[in-house]
Structure 1
C-alpha cells in the first residue's frame, strides 16, 4: 500500500492546477491514464474566458453564462468563477504560459466566441490547451513533492462504507459517522497489478464522457471514469442529460474528430450549404455566434432535412496571413487532408464535445463523500447549467482547482488507515476480449442514434433497454475475469450511459442541450436533474 496526503486522478488542467497548488505543503500523487499530456485539456483550441479590459465587465460575463445555461446555472457559483477569472489567467502567465499578444504588443489578443457579448477569450493561437498543458505538466514533472504515475487507471474508490459492507476487518479504519473516501485502487497497465493507494484527500479530475458517443471531439481517455466511480461510491450526479455537441468537427474519414474551433466563427467564419447558401438566418438572430446548442441543432436540422453528410464553414474571405496567424494548427491540419481553408470552405459536422453534468459538488469542489473532491469536467458545479458557454471549461478547471486546493490546505493532517488489498484470487484471465470491443462499438452507436442532438421518448427507452442488457453481460465479465484497461473503461461508459439516459427520460421538457421531439415545451421553473446513488455492487464484488 502506498500513502499520500493528496491523490489526484487525472492529469488535465484541473488536476495539474490542484497538484501545483497543494504540492508546496502536501505529498501529492498524480495518476494519469496514459501519458501526463494525453488529456482533453491538451486538445482545447479556443481559450479561456476572462474579463481583461475596461470595455467588458464581470456582470457581462455572468449574464452571458446564465443565458447560455438555460436558467440552470448557480448564480453564486457563476459569480465566483467570473470574479476569479482574471487572477486565474494571471497565475497561468506567472507559470510561463505564452498567450497571443496584439501586433503592437499593447496587450493580449482577445477573441470572441458564440454566446459571448464581448471579446474576452485569451488564447495561445488556436492551441491554448496545449500551451497550458505543456507549461504546467513540465512543472509537475520537476516538483519534488509530486509523484507522477503515468499509464495507471483508477479502478474504484475505497470508502469506509464499502469496506464495512464487504465485512473487511475495519479495526484499523479511522472511525467516522459519514461515508469517507480513503483512497483508490489503481491498475498499473504495464504490469497488470492493482495498487492500493491511501490518501487523506482524493480528487477526481478524470474529464468527461465523450467516448460514450460514436462521434466525439474528445480523446480516447474520455470514458467518464470519475463520474462512474463517484456514483458507485455513493455520490449524487446531476444534469447528465446535457451533453454538449460541438457544432463544427472536421468531416473527413481520416480526421479522427478534429475540432474546428469556435473562434473560427468568432473571427467571421460563416456556415453554408454546399451551394454557398447561408442557413443560420432561419434558426437564430445571433447567426453563427449563437450558443453551441443552437448552432449544433441548426446543422443537424439542415443535414437531416436535405440528406447531407455535412455542411461547410467558410472563412475564405480572410487573407492567408490572418488565417496562419490566428489558426495555424487548424490550417496545417486541414491542409494535411487536402483542404486549404484560405481557398476552400471546411466540411463540418456536430460531434459530442462536453459533459455539462457530473458529480455534484459545492463551491470548493467537495462531493457528498468526505475527503472526496471532483473538479473540471467530471464535476457538476452549477456553472454550466443546461449548456456550457464557450471557453468557460478551462476557466472552471483553474478556479475550482484553486478552491479545492485552498480547502485541502486548510485541513489538519489525518492519520492514514491500513486498507485492504485488491484480491483477484478467484478470477481468471479473459478468454474473449472481442466481447469488450463489440460491446463498446454497440454502445457508442446506439447512444449516437438514440441519445444524440435530438431525442424522443421511444429512442431513450430503447437505449436504456440495451444498456441494461449490456451492463449485465459486462458485470458477469467483470466478476469472473481479471480486469484490464478496456474492461474498466467499458464498465464506466455503460454506467455513465445509463445516467445520461435516465436523466434525459426524467426531463419532460426541451431545455439547453436536451431537445426532445415529444416535449418541446419549456417548463417555467428550471429544475436541475439530480440522481441519487443506487445500491450499486461493491468495488470488491470480484473478491
Structure 2
C-alpha cells in the first residue's frame, strides 16, 4: 500500500486509525490482513505516551494471583465509579493480550525459571506488573509493534498529519480532516471513511507540568466532542506524584515501581511525610500520594524520592531510564534524593465507549487513553492503562471485522478556520491556567475563572488548533466545577469529602459544557482579567 497522503482521498480501504500508540498499532495489527490506514502526528514511536510508560502492564499471570483479585484492586482504587463488569473483563483478558505482545516480539522480563517476571506497584495486592528491564516496558512495546506494523503489507502509515475535525452526516462519521503538522497553514486533506478508530492519547500537555509528550493535547477528545460524541468523566485527571523536577518539559518520570522497590518520599528535613497520611505510606493510591507531595511542596519543605538505601548502586541496572534522566540533570540517584512534584499524567475521562469500543457516533470507535471505558473510575490503578489499551484495541478490531457497514457517503466540505497555526504563547498561557486552576487541588472560584476563559476561546477564536485544545480544557473544567465533592483524583478544597449522591459517572457533551459556561458568564469589564489571547 502507498504511504502517500495524496492517495488517501481515493483509498479503497474503509478503516482509518488516528494515533500510533499501543491502542492504534495493536488495533491495526489485529485487523490484518484487512486494509487499514494509521495516521500519526509524529514519526512512529515519537509522539505516543506508550513509549514513555515505565511501569509495565498489570496482568494476573503469577501463581497465586487471579483476575478476580486484580479486578477487586481496580475497583477499590476507583473510588466508587469503576464499572465492575468492565474491570473484571479487562483482568480476565490480560493474559491473552500479554501473549499477543510476546508474539509481536515484546521481550518481557523473565525469572530464572523462564516464567514472566512480575513486580509490585502501588495499591496492587500482589506482584503482577509485567515489565521490560525494570522501567523500559513502554519503549520495548512500541518498538516491537512498530516493527510488526512495518512488516504488515495491509497497514498503511501516514506520518506527520494531525486530525483536526471529524466529518459527519447526522450522527454518522463519514471522514476526517487532516492537516500537515510541519505546515499548519497548508490546505487540509479530507479522507472518506466508514470506520474511524480514535486512538490519539490523553490530555496531559494541556497542563504546564506534565509527563506527557507534546502530542497529548486532547485533540481526539475535542474533535469527537465537536462532532457530538458523549464524553465521560472528564474531570478525573490523574497527577503522577513523582515527576522529576529538573526543568524539562515534559518532566521525566520517576516510575512508581521505584516505590515498589522500597524508595521513600522525604522532605528537605529527611522526614517520610507519607507515613502520617496513609497506612500504605508511599504505596498508597496515586491520588493520595500526589496530594501528599503537593502539600509538602506548598509548605516550602519540598519533596524528594530517596532510593539511596533501597537501591543504591543497583539503581542504574534496575531503572536505566530514570537513572539517565537524573544523571543528565547532574543528580546521582544512587547517592542523592531526587526532587519530585505532581504532574498531569493520565486522563481517566475521555470519549464514552461501550464494551466493544463503540462511541455514541456511528462509525466511530475509540481506544486507549482518549476513551473512557469505566475501568478506571475516579483514579486509575497503576499499570492498568496499557492493559486497557491492548484489550480494547483487540475488541475494536473484532467488532469492526464483524460490522455491517452501510454504503460510504461522500464526506462534506472541510472546515475552514481563519488560522491554523497556534501561537506558542497562547498555548503556554492556557497550560499555566490549567495547572493553577484545574490542578491537584481545585475550588469553585478558580474553576469558574478558567471556565470563562476557555469558553471564550472555544466560542470566539478562528484558530482551529487553539479551538480544539480550548474545547477539551472546557470539558474538563466544567465537569470539575459541577462535581462538588472530592473523589479519587478530583479534589475540591471547598468540598473536601465524598458525597454518596454523586457516586456515579459523569456523562456530558460539549453543548452541556457550553451551558455551564453561559451560566457563569461575567461582564466584559471583568472578563479581561483572565486573558488568553487568540
The residue that corresponds to 2:297 in the other structure is 303
2:498 corresponds to:
522
Q: Does 1:90 find its partner at 2:90?
A: no
Counterpart of 1:294 in structure 2 is 288
Matched, 1:440 2:427: yes
Measured against aligned partners, the alpha-carbon deviations of 1:229-265 in whole angstroms (never above 9, x if no partner) come to 1111111111111100000000112474001101000
- Superposed, which structure 2 residues align to 1:319-468 within 5 Å? 319-320=311-312, 322-412=314-404, 414-422=406-414, 436-468=423-455
Contact 2:474 2:513 (8 Å CA) reproduced: no
Q: Using the alignment, how far apart are the partners of 1:378 and 1:114 within structure 2?
A: 24
Task: Name structure 1 gaps, 5 residues minimum.
Answer: 162-178, 479-486, 538-543
For residues 43-82 of structure 1, what are the structure 2 equivalents within 5 Å? 43-82=52-91
- The SS at the match of 2:14 is strand
Q: Which position in structure 2 is the counterpart of 1:41? A: 50
2:532 corresponding residue in structure 1: none
| Structure 1 counterpart SS, 2:289 | helix
Shift in Å, 1:277: 0.9
CA distance in 1: counterparts of 2:182 and 2:436, whole angstroms: 36
Q: Structure 1 residues 471, 283: CA separation in 2 closer, same or farther (over 3 Å shift)?
A: same
Query: Among 268, 279, 289, which residue is 1:274 paired with?
Result: 268
When the two chains are superposed, the root-mean-square deviation of aligned CA atoms in Å is: 1.8
Distance 1:243 1:514 in 2: 7
Question: Matched residues in 2 for 1:469 and 1:533: separation?
Answer: 14
Structure 2 partner of 1:170: none
* Structure of greater relative contact order (alpha carbons < 8 Å, 6+ residues apart): 1
Deviation per CA, 1:63-110: give whole Å up to 9, x if none.
Answer: 1100110010001111110000011101101111001222x2432221
Q: Identify the residue that residue 259 of structure 2 maps to in structure 1.
A: 265
Conserved 8 A contact 1:510-1:516: yes
- How far 1:185 moved relative to its partner? 1.1
Comparing 67-76 and 463-472, the one that deviates more: 463-472
- Secondary structure, aligned partner of 2:500: coil
Change (3 A) 1:419 1:466: closer
Please give the per-residue CA displacement for 1:311-369, whole angstroms capped at 9, x wherever unaligned. 11011113555323320121122112111111111111110000100110000000001
| Contact 2:199 2:368 (8 Å CA) reproduced | yes
By how many angstroms is 1:429 displaced?
A: 6.5
Deviations 1:267-290 (A, max 9, x none): 111000112111111110010000
Would the aligned equivalents of 1:509 and 1:523 in 2 still touch at CA under 8 Å? Answer: yes
TM norm structure 1: 0.89
Displacement of 1:509 in angstroms is: 1.0
* Preserved CA contact (<8 Å) 1:439 1:470: no
Q: Does 1:470 align with 2:447?
A: no
- Give the direction of change, closer, same or farther, for the CA distance of 1:93–1:423 in structure 2 (3 Å limit): closer
The 1:315–1:503 alpha-carbon spacing in structure 2 relative to 1, beyond 3 Å, is same
In structure 2, stretches of 5+ residues that fail to align are 1-8, 515-534
C-alpha spacing 1:471/1:429, structure 2 compared with 1 (3 Å): closer
Q: Which moved more, 1:408-417 or 1:355-364?
A: 408-417
Q: Which residue of 2 aligns with 1:109?
A: 117
TM-score scaled to structure 2, two decimals? 0.90
User: Would you say 1:28 and 2:36 are equivalent positions?
Assistant: yes
**1:303 shift after superposition:** 1.4
Identify if the C-alpha distance between structure 1 residues 66 and 423 changes in structure 2 by more than 3 Å, giving closer, same or farther.
closer
How many pairs does the alignment contain?
A: 500
Q: Which residue of 2 aligns with 1:132?
A: 141
| Residue in 1 that maps onto 2:156 | 147
Partner residue, 2:479: 503
Q: Is the 8 A contact 1:360 1:379 kept in 2?
A: yes
Q: Secondary structure at the match of 1:282?
A: coil
Judge conservation of contact 2:62–2:118 (CA < 8 Å) in 1: no
Q: Deviations over 1:135-155 (max 9, x none)?
A: 001111221111111000111
Show the counterpart of 1:247: 241
Taking the aligned partners of 1:15 and 1:337, their CA distance within structure 2 comes to 33
